[in-house]
Structure 1
C-alpha cells in the first residue's frame, strides 16, 4: 500500500516522541557531569595552583614523578576517579531507565503506522474489516531491554578510568613557561575539566546509540510479527535545508521487513516507515490511492540554486547536475568507532574518483588509490602519460567504480586448462612476486567486495579507470588471500600465466 499523509504524519510524531525521550536523557547526563565537576573543582584548583607555583619557582613544569608524589594533585585525581565512578554508574542507570517504555512505544507506533495504510471499513465494504495485526511477544521486547542494558553496562564501565587517564595526561603535559600565573592556572584547569568531560561526551554517544537502536530493534520485531501484510519499510528523511545529501539519497528507498534501520548518521532525523502490501495482495478488490511520500529529488530540484549549493556543496552539485554521478552515489555506508555502521555523505574526493572511473578519466586527485607513492616510483614502461596517477590515504576501492571501469577498459580472454589470460598491465614484470588469479574479471566485478583481511590489508587489487587500486588474488585451498599491487598499463595485448610464469602474447 502506498504511504499516505497520515502515515507520514504518524511517522513524524513517533520520531518526535523518541527524540524527546533521548534528548531528556542526554540533558540529565549533562547536569550530572556538571554537578560532579562543581563538587571537585576547588580540589583541582588547589592542585593546579601548587603545580603553577612550582613552575614559577623553577622555570619548568613539574616532571611526571613529582606530580605522582604531589599530595594535592593525587588527591584531586582520586576525587575525580570517585566522582566519575559515581556519574558513570548513574549514566548507565539513566540510559536504561526509559528502555521499557521506549521499546513498548516503538511497537505501538509501528502498529498504528501499519494501520494507517489499510482501507477504512466504509471503503473495504463487505470484503472485510480494515486489518488485524499481530502484537509482538512481550518477551521479545524484554529481551531487547535486557540486551541493551548489558551493552550499556559494558560501555559505561571504562568511562571513569579513561577520563582519569586523560586528566592525568593533561597534568603531565603541563603548560608553557612564562604565562601569567592566573591565566596559566585557568588554562590548565580548563584542560583538566575537558578530560573530565570526555566521559560525558562518550556517555552521550552511548545514550543516543543504545536508546535509538533499542527503538529500532523493537520496531523491527513488531514488523517481523506482521510479515504477512508488509512489503518492507521505506526510508523517510526530513526534507528541509538541514538534511544532508546522504539522507536525501536514502529517502524513499525500500528495505526488507527484517532489516533494522534507518542507519542514518549520529543526530540523524530519519525514520523507517513500514509499508504494507497492496490492497489487492491483501484481499481487498479495490483501487488504492497514489502514494503521498514526498520525492526527495523533486523537492531538491525545486530549490533555488543557492540553496542546493548550501546542501550539496558546489563540487557535489556540479557532478550531480552534469550527470557524472547519480543520486544514489551521494550516500555511502561507513563504520565509526563507538557507533553502529551508518550512512554518511560520500566525500567530494571519492565522488570525483567515482565519476572518473565511470567515464575513464581517472578521477580527481586523491581518489581510489591504495598504493602509496607517486608516478616516479613506477618504471617508465609501466606508465601511460595519458593516465593521471592519483593517491589517497584511504585505501578503499568501490565495487561500483570497479564495475564501471572494468566494463569499459578491461579485456578478458577465457582461461584454458592451466593457462590464464589477463589484460596487459595487470601485473608487474617480476615472475616471482605475483600470483595466479582464477576468473579475475568475474571475481572483481561481481564477487570481490572491498574488505579487510585479518592483517589489515584490502582484498582488492586492480587498475581501473586509469586509477591504481587492488585486485584480490584467488584464495588458495586454505582460503588465504595473496595480494599484490598492480602496475598501470593499458594495451591491446594480454599476458599469459603458464605454470607460474608470465609471458607476453602477441
Structure 2
C-alpha cells in the first residue's frame, strides 16, 4: 500500500478506536440514568397504589390516586430524558472536537507536497460546531422521552383494565410494575442505538463542517466501510463511493461505523504541476471486488445464501445491495436490500 494511503488508514483506525471508546462511555452514562429513573418510578408506583389499596377507598378515589401515579411517572420520565441528553453532552463535544482534528489531519496528509496549503487548513466555525452539539442533545432527549412515554401508556392500560375488572389495587400494582418495567428496560436497547447513532452522526456533521471550511482544496468525500465478515451488504456496496461536500453522511444504518474521508482536488486543479496525486484509500467498486475475493461462507453471510447465489449467477448486483430507508422523525439511512425470492 502507498505510504500516503497507509497514513489515511492509520488515521481511520485510530478514529474507530476513539469512537468505540466514546460510544462505550455514552452507553454507561445512558444506562446509569435509565436505572436511576426506573428505581424512582417503581418506588412512586408502589407508594401511590398502596394508598389506593387502603381499606374503605372507593373506586373513584382509586382511579384518582392511580392518575396521580401516572402524573408522577410522567414527570420522572421527562427528568430522565433530560438527564440522558445531558449525560451524553460531554461525549458528543469530545466527538466533535476529534472530528475536526481528524478531518484536518486527513486533508493535510493529502497536501503534503505543498506545505503552504497544509499549513492553512481551517477548522469549522465555532457557532456551527456548537449548534451540532446542541442539536444532538435535543434529539436524544426527545427520542428518549418518546421511548419512555410507552411506559406511561402501560400504566394507563393497566389502570383501565384494573378498574374494569374490579381488581384489587395491590394486585394491579404488581401487574403494572411488571408491564412498565418490561417496556421501560426494553426501551434501553433502542435508546442506546439512538444515542450511539446520534453521537457518531455528530462526528460526521463536524467533519462535514470542517470540510466545507476547506472546500477550496477538496473534491468531495469518500464513503469508507470497515470491511470484514460482519460488514453489511449495504456498506460493502457503498465502500469507496465519492460524494459531494454538501451531502451529509455516511448515512449508514443505525449503529453503523462507516467513515467519511475528505478527498482533495488533483494537484493540477489546485494549480500545481509535476506533483503526483496522492492515492485514494478506496474507489467505487472496491467493496464488491473485496467481497469477490472472500470465501463463499463470508459471501453467504454478508449477502445471505440466496443473495450470494443470485450474485454469482449475475442476477443481483451491488446496485441492489444498498437501498434508502426513511425513518420519520429521525434520519434517513442506507440499509441492506432484499435478495430476489427466486
Normalised to the residue count of structure 2, the TM-score between the two structures is 0.80
Q: CA deviation at 1:166?
A: 3.0
The answer to which structure has the higher helix fraction is 2
> 1:6 aligns to what SS in structure 2?
helix
**Corresponding residue for residue 218 of structure 1:** 206
**Corresponding residue for residue 163 of structure 1:** 151
Contact kept? 2:84, 2:140, Cα under 8 Å: no
**Corresponding residue for residue 10 of structure 1:** 11
CA distance in 2, matches of 1:3, 1:320: 34
> 1:116 aligns to what SS in structure 2?
helix
Contact kept? 2:27, 2:192, Cα under 8 Å: yes
**Corresponding residue for residue 234 of structure 1:** 222
Q: CA deviation at 1:47?
A: 7.7
**Corresponding residue for residue 19 of structure 1:** 20
Q: Does 1:313 align with 2:304?
A: yes
> 1:273 aligns to what SS in structure 2?
strand
CA distance in 1, matches of 2:36, 2:134: 29
Counterpart among 168, 177, 200 of residue 189 in structure 1: 177
CA distance in 1, matches of 2:298, 2:147: 41
Contact kept? 1:91, 1:203, Cα under 8 Å: no
- 1:42-441 maps to which residues of 2 (within 5 A)? 42=43, 44=45, 66=59, 69-70=62-63, 73-74=66-67, 76-119=69-112, 124=113, 129=116, 131-132=118-119, 133-152=121-140, 154-155=142-143, 161-172=149-160, 189-197=177-185, 200-201=188-189, 203-282=191-270, 283-288=272-277, 290-293=279-282, 295-348=286-339, 351=340
Q: Does 1:36 align with 2:37?
A: yes
CA distance in 1, matches of 2:245, 2:312: 34
Distance 1:289 1:222, change over 3 A: closer
Task: Give ranges in structure 2 of 5+ residues lacking alignment.
Answer: 166-170
CA distance in 2, matches of 1:84, 1:15: 33
Normalised to the residue count of structure 1, the TM-score between the two structures is 0.56
Contact kept? 2:26, 2:195, Cα under 8 Å: yes
Q: CA deviation at 1:76?
A: 4.4
Q: CA deviation at 1:298?
A: 2.9
Q: CA deviation at 1:274?
A: 0.9
> 1:232 aligns to what SS in structure 2?
strand
CA distance in 2, matches of 1:67, 1:216: 54
Distance 1:319 1:105, change over 3 A: same
> 1:212 aligns to what SS in structure 2?
helix
State the number of aligned residues.
Answer: 329
**Corresponding residue for residue 168 of structure 2:** none
CA distance in 2, matches of 1:128, 1:307: 44
Contact kept? 1:2, 1:278, Cα under 8 Å: no
Contact kept? 2:92, 2:199, Cα under 8 Å: yes
Distance 1:213 1:128, change over 3 A: closer
Q: CA deviation at 1:254?
A: 0.6
Q: CA deviation at 1:271?
A: 0.6
Q: CA deviation at 1:277?
A: 2.0
Q: CA deviation at 1:284?
A: 5.0
Q: CA deviation at 1:301?
A: 1.8
RMSD: 3.7
CA distance in 2, matches of 1:170, 1:15: 45
CA distance in 2, matches of 1:198, 1:231: 44
Distance 1:318 1:158, change over 3 A: closer
Q: CA deviation at 1:72?
A: 6.8
CA distance in 1, matches of 2:29, 2:328: 24
> 1:108 aligns to what SS in structure 2?
helix
Contact kept? 2:158, 2:175, Cα under 8 Å: no
Larger Rg: 1
